[in-house]
Each structure stands twice: as structure tokens, then as C-alpha cells.
């Protein structure tokens, strides 16, 4: 197959950029893959992967990318879509036009992966609770955004050959506002999970400390303030706990949080930098507990969860769609009420003091995610693409 991909790649600040990097590196080498991506991409091509550095993320990126796609010869055009599609939320609304033009130009089967499904409730919660926008503004804004997003997704689904989502929950949400005639085009392919590297060097860290780790690109909705408040609660009763925060743009948010939260007595180590896989692996190996305290209610999955799942570490996550669609509370993780730092502190404290619970949760987590390795997810994509090319789609 000749496959043309439209997506940002690192150093673009999004989990999607890493998703794309891992996914296509596991495709069979017989397929020719051309990734149309951002101009500053650090992705390196190979014998079967071409990297076309085309756009600067923003409102113009969609149209510049369209011109590039129109000159491609492909069996499959795979478009990866998140809320800020190609770096701008307005691009999401123009997605149907992009797909329609490509369809008219007969550029191949068009497949869209929706990495998030917007709905009124999640958008409203994000605007009111996280961005602190007044209700009188957030309600009509949420309603308008939801309506236009639903229309955009419906038209894009109508014009395309199929849409991929990552969980049954995402599919059910999508089906809830899609007419019957297009529902057969919706496919579920799980998010791939990272396999830890076999050779791991020791990360220089004092293991006299119990290490509580969180990773990922930081945003207002990632719950960093909740984590630091929980850390302060824990520091009152346990002295040898260190909280490690690894990712990008951490200091940007810490400067805002410091005005509201005093965490001077908390042992915190911050690595505000993009790390190579090997270096991040080393840090994850050193952790005793991993915490993902996100606060938004968007219907999507967590790249950070799938990055750490196979390391055999006990996990504490907020009870929101991106986690409770993949995890079961008390079975393979502990889920807590988002924004509740007292409950989070209790969950961490419980894990610190219960070795058997840590072992059981870690084992169950690894078993659950072992069938979602990137190689297997790549095969699922290849099978779907071939079926669509042959016009013999089997559910």
C-alpha cells in the first residue's frame, strides 16, 4: 500500500505527535508511508517512510496541507484529528471540506482517526471549572462549539471511507449523535502501548526516597495543582517521599500555581525537558507509584497511560472518561475523584503502605495492556486499510 498520513510529529506539543511516530514505525516495510507534517519535525525517514515537512501549525496549516495532499498518489490517506487540529481549533470545523475536496479529487480511501470526541458536557466543564469562564458565557459557547463539532464530524464521516476511535466508550458517544446510515463506518482500534526498552541504565536518584511520578505535556487540565496539594498532605506524615514531574512546559504552570499553593516543604524534582525514550524509561523504572491526576472530561484516551502501562508500576488516575474507559477501579488501578487532593493523597498513602496492593495492581495492569503493543495495533490498521481498499469491509 501507498499510505499518506497527515499529522503533526515531535517536537509538536501533543501526545498525538508521539502516537504517529510509534504507529507507523511498526507498519510492514512493504508499505510506502509519506507523513505530511510540521516543518520543524525531528522525525527521520527510512527506507519506506518519507517525511514531508510541510506546514507550520495554525489556521493556514490545513490549506497548505491540502495542496500537498492533492499532489500525492496514495491508496490510503490517513488523517489524524484532535481538538486543535493541525494547531488550531477552527481547523476542526473545516475538516469536512478537506475530506470532500480529497474525495472529489479521488486521492484514495480517506480514513480519519478521531483522537477525541467533543460533547456539550465535557466542553462546558472545561470552560467553567478549568478555564473559569463565567456560566453566562460558557453555556452558549459550549453549545455552539458542540453543535458545530457534531456537524463537522458527521460530514467528515459521510465523505470519508471510515473513522477510527480508540475505545468502545468513544464509539458509543459518537454513535449517540450519528444517524444510522453512517454508523457502520466507525471502527475501534485501541491506542498502542509502549514496550519498555530491554537495557535500562540506572537513573541517578536517591532511592532512600519513595518516588511518586507524573509525566506528560503540562496543561491547565493535567491536575498539577491537585497533585502538589496532595503532595503537601502526604509530607505531613511521610518524610521520605519525592514527587517527580517529568514533561514539557512544567515551569509555566508552576509559576501560576505557586500564587495559590505553598509546596515549599514538599520534595519535588522537576525535569522540564523532552526526553529520549531510553532516558524516560530509566525514570519510569525508578518510580514506586505513577499518578495521572487529569481533570477534563473529554472522551479520549491518555498517551501517558499507554506510555507507562507495561512497566509494572501501580497507577493512580482520576476517574474521568480517558481513564475509566480503559481501567477498572481497584482491579488494575486506583481511580479518584478529579480535583480532590485529599482523596488523591489517601490513594497514594494507601499504595505506599500496602506492598501486596501495589503488586496486584501492577500485575493486572500489565496483563490488560499486553495485547495492545504497537506492533499489534499497526497490524489492525493494515488489515482495516486493505479491507477498505478492496471494498470488502467486514464488521
pLDDT of residue 395 exceeding 70, the answer is no
295 and 238 part of one domain: yes
Confidence of residue 263 (pLDDT cuts 50, 70, 90): low
User: Highest-confidence range of 147-151, 185-189, 293-297, by mean pLDDT?
Assistant: 185-189
115 and 250 part of one domain: no
Write out pLDDT tens, residues 9-56: 999 988 899 999 999 999 999 999 999 999 999 999 999 999 999 999
pLDDT of residue 394 exceeding 60, the answer is no
Domain assignment present for 197: no
Pinpoint the alpha helices (H) of 224-369: 224-235, 250-257, 277-286, 303-308, 321-324, 341-352, 355-369
Residue 393's pLDDT is: 46
More confidently predicted of 254 and 94: 94
Q: Chain-centre distance of CA 54, in angstroms?
A: 23
- Measured between alpha carbons, how far is 210 from 352 in angstroms, rounded to an integer? 8
Domain assignment present for 315: yes
115 and 149 part of one domain: yes
Domain assignment present for 345: yes
Given a contact cutoff of 8 angstroms between Cβ atoms, the answer to whether 335 and 346 are in contact is no
Domain assignment present for 166: yes
234 and 117 part of one domain: no
17 and 29 part of one domain: yes
Given a contact cutoff of 8 angstroms between Cβ atoms, the answer to whether 303 and 19 are in contact is yes
The CATH number of the domain where 71 resides is what? 3.40.50.2000
Residue 257's pLDDT is: 65
User: Which residues fall within 8 angstroms of residue 82, CB to CB, at 6 or more apart?
Assistant: 14, 16, 115, 116, 300
Domain assignment present for 199: no
Write out pLDDT tens, residues 234-262: 988 898 999 999 988 777 767 666 656 66
Which domain, by its residues, includes 271? 210-371
* Cis geometry, peptide bond prior to residue 199 (ω within 30 degrees of 0): no
User: Which residues fall within 8 angstroms of residue 228, CB to CB, at 6 or more apart?
Assistant: 243, 257, 261, 263, 266, 268
- Measured between alpha carbons, how far is 248 from 252 in angstroms, rounded to an integer? 9
137 and 280 part of one domain: no
pTM of the entire predicted model: 0.91
Residue 287: strand, helix, or coil:
coil
Write out pLDDT tens, residues 292-334: 999 998 999 999 999 999 999 999 999 999 999 999 999 999 9
257 and 308 part of one domain: yes
Confidence of residue 104 (pLDDT cuts 50, 70, 90): very high
Domain assignment present for 198: no
Domain count, the chain: 2
Residue 202's pLDDT is: 47
Confidence of residue 220 (pLDDT cuts 50, 70, 90): confident
Amino acid at each position: 500500500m501507498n499510505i499518506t498520513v497527515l499529522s503533526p510529529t515531535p517536537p509538536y506539543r501533543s501526545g498525538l505527535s508521539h502516537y504517529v511516530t510509534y504507529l507507523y514505525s511498526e507498519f510492514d516495510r512493504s508499505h510506502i508511508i509519506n507523513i505530511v507534517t510540521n516543518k520543524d519535525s525531528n522525525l527521520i525517514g527510512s527506507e519506506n517512510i518519507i517525511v514531508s515537512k510541510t506546514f507550520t501549525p495554525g489556521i493556514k496549516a490545513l490549506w497548505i496541507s491540502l495542496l500537498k495532499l492533492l499532489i500525492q498518489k496514495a491508496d490510503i490517506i490517513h488523517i489524524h484529528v484532535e481538538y486543535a487540529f493541525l494547531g488550531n481549533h477552527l481547523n476542526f470545523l473545516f475538516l469536512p471540506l478537506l475530506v470532500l475536496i480529497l474525495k472529489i479529487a479521488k486521492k484514495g480511501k480517506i480514513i480519519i482517526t478521531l483522537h477525541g470526541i467533543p460533547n456539550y458536557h465535557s466542553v462546558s466543564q472545561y470552560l467553567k471549572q478549568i478555564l473559569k469562564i463565567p456560566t453566562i458565557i460558557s453555556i452558549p459557547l459550549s453549545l455552539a462549539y458542540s453543535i458545530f463539532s457534531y456537524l463537522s464530524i458527521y460530514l467528515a464521516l459521510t465523505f470519508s471511507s471510515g473513522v477510527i476511535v480508540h475505545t468502545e466508550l468513544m464509539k458509543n458517544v459518537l454513535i449517540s449523535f450519528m444517524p444510522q446510515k453512517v454508523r457502520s463506518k466507525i471502527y475501534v482500534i485501541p491506542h498502542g502501548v509502549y514496550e519498555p526498552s530491554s537495557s535500562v541504565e540506572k537513573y541517578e536518584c536517591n532511592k532512600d526516597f519513595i518516588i511518586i511520578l507524573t509525566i506528560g505535556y503540562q496543561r491547565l487540565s493535567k491536575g498539577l495543582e491537585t497533585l502538589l496539594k496532595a503532595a503537601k498532605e502526604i509530607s505531613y506524615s511521610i518524610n521520605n517521599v519525592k514527587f517527580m514531574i517529568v514533561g514539557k512546559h512544567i515551569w509555566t504552570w508552576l509559576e501560576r500555581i505557586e500564587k495559590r499553593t505553598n509546596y515549599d516543604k514538599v520534595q519535588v524534582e522537576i525535569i522540564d525537558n523532552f526526553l529520549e525514550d531510553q532516558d524516560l524509561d530509566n525514570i519510569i523504572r525508578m518510580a514506586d507509584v505513577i499518578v495521572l491526576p487529569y481533570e477534563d472530561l473529554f472522551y479520549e484516551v491518555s498517551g501517558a497511560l499507554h506510555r507507562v502501562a507495561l512497566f509494572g508500576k501501580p497507577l493512580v488516575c482520576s476517574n474521568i472518561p480517558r481513564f475509566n474507559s480503559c481501567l477498572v477501579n481497584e482491579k488494575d488501578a486506583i481511580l479518584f475523584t478529579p480535583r480532590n487532593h485529599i482523596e488523591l493523597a489517601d490513594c497514594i498513602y494507601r499504595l505506599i503502605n500496602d506492598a501486596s496492593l501495589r503488586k496486584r495492581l501492577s500485575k493486572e495492569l500489565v496483563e490488560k495492556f499486553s495485547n495492545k503493543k504497537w506492533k499489534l495495533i499497526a497490524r489492525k490498521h493494515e488489515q482495516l486499510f486493505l479491507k477498505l481498499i478492496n471494498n470488502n469491509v467486514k464488521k
